[in-house]
Amino acid sequence: MRKILIPTDFSKPAFNAIKYALELFKYDKSEVYFLNAFEDDIYKDQELLKSDSLSNVIEIMRQQSCEKLNALIEEVKAIWPNPRHTYHQVASQHGIVDGIDVLVDTVNIDIIVMGTKGVTDKKSKLFGSNTIQVLRYVASPVLAIPVNYDYTQPKKIVFATNYLIPYKRRELKLLCEMAAPYRAEIDMIYVSKSKQLSVRQEVNRQFIEDTLCKNETQFVHVHNKSVVEGINSYCTQHNADMLVMVNSRHSFLEDILYASTIDAVALDMKIPFLAMQNMRRD
């Protein structure tokens, strides 16, 4: 039984993520959790706060959130009737990161699927500020879906790695199971000026090869001084349907997420992006 968490603010990007997730996992028996974190809404309505106590305002917002979630689930059932899927609603008075984090730990979520808003503010050229925060601080795989992306079966998956960290078998199994129904090819790409791997990198590479053995996998060296440019070019040239990276210390993705200015990053998020979270951050 796969457990999928889809955060929603009832926006177009959020609904696009729902469409993608329900199509991608249509063959899997799944528990799907729709989460609405309404903390920001509590403090938005200043008139309501003036006229009522905070606890009453929270309860009003919770009721409104539950009503919207109920309506969303009914819409989902009407558009994508699937006996393999069971739907749950979660109205959280926390912020988006805390709300997701609590649910991930409580029900042991396998994957989070969330929409991205593109270039919406100065904080984030890449994913949107909420997605950035979830990628940084929530210990669960995160699949980010661009707002204007139309669902396409993943036939070519690009997995960018530097082989510096040991991988989690559970997350590699998730990738295998996502790829298998569509007979997707997985290209493991190592972007570097040199092909030479250390003993540690070779061990980690071999572990990936052994774990992904049920999928057609090829290991590719991409010669480029810029990791971002190398990944971007490879995805474009090979018509990638999904990009996968591992978020941990000493990883490509950490360098991107923790760059001094995220606006300087040139990764063009036109395809779904799966970040496998290798460790919990403080």
pLDDT, tens digit (0-9, with 9 covering 90-100), for 54-86: 778 788 889 999 999 999 999 999 999 999 999
How far apart are alpha carbons 246 and 239 in whole angstroms?
21
Among 83, 116, 146, the domain boundary falls at 146
Place of tokens 């606006």: 263
pLDDT higher than 70, residue 182:
yes
Of residues 141, 151, 139, 60, the one with CA closest to residue 102: 139
**What CATH number is given to the structural domain containing 162?**
3.40.50.620
Where would I find the beta strands (DSSP E) of 39-122? 85-92, 111-116
Percent over 70 (pLDDT), the chain: 82
Residues 164 and 33 in one domain: no
User: What count of other Cβ atoms lies within 10 Å of the Cβ of residue 155?
Assistant: 14
Question: Considering the domain boundaries, does residue 41 fall inside one?
Answer: yes
Confidence of residue 187 (pLDDT cuts 50, 70, 90): very high
Residues 267 and 248 in one domain: yes
Percent over 90 (pLDDT), the chain: 50
Question: Considering the domain boundaries, does residue 187 fall inside one?
Answer: yes
Residues 136 and 210 in one domain: no
Residues 93 and 171 in one domain: no
* Mean of the per-residue pLDDT values of the chain: 84
Place of tokens 């090869």: 209
Q: Residue 278: its pLDDT value, please?
A: 56
How far apart are alpha carbons 124 and 130 in whole angstroms?
9
Higher pLDDT, 120 or 98: 98
Confidence of residue 132 (pLDDT cuts 50, 70, 90): confident
Q: Residue 43: its pLDDT value, please?
A: 65
Domain hosting 15: range is 2-146
Among 94, 118, 146, the domain boundary falls at 146
Question: Considering the domain boundaries, does residue 151 fall inside one?
Answer: no
CA angle 143, 252, 249 (to 5 degrees): 95
* Number of domains the chain is built from: 2
Residues 136 and 169 in one domain: no
CA atoms within 13 A on the CB side of 145: 28
Does residue 21 contact residue 32 with C-beta atoms inside 8 Å? yes
How far apart are alpha carbons 85 and 40 in whole angstroms?
30
Verdict on whether the full-model pTM lies above 0.85:
yes
Helices 169-179 and 199-211: crossing angle in degrees, nearest 10, is: 50
pLDDT, mean of residues 181-207: 91
Q: Residue 142: its pLDDT value, please?
A: 92
pLDDT, mean of residues 16-31: 95
pLDDT, one tens digit per residue, over 203-261 is 999 998 888 877 899 999 999 888 888 888 899 999 999 999 887 655 556 666 555 33
Residue type, 157: I
Residues 90 and 15 in one domain: yes
pLDDT, mean of residues 137-155: 90
Residues 51 and 139 in one domain: yes
Copy the structure tokens of residue 74. 């009914």
Question: Considering the domain boundaries, does residue 108 fall inside one?
Answer: yes
Higher pLDDT, 190 or 40: 190
Q: Residue 51: its pLDDT value, please?
A: 63
Q: Residue 193: its pLDDT value, please?
A: 82
pLDDT higher than 60, residue 166:
yes
How far apart are alpha carbons 83 and 75 in whole angstroms?
15
Among 79, 111, 146, the domain boundary falls at 146
What are all long-range contacts of 193-201, with beta carbons under 8 Å and residues at least 24 apart? Answer: 193/223, 193/224, 193/225, 195/221, 195/223, 197/163, 200/163, 200/164, 201/162, 201/163, 201/164
Question: Considering the domain boundaries, does residue 282 fall inside one?
Answer: no
Residues 122 and 15 in one domain: yes
Q: Residue 166: which residues within 8 A CB-CB, separation 6 or more?
A: 204, 207
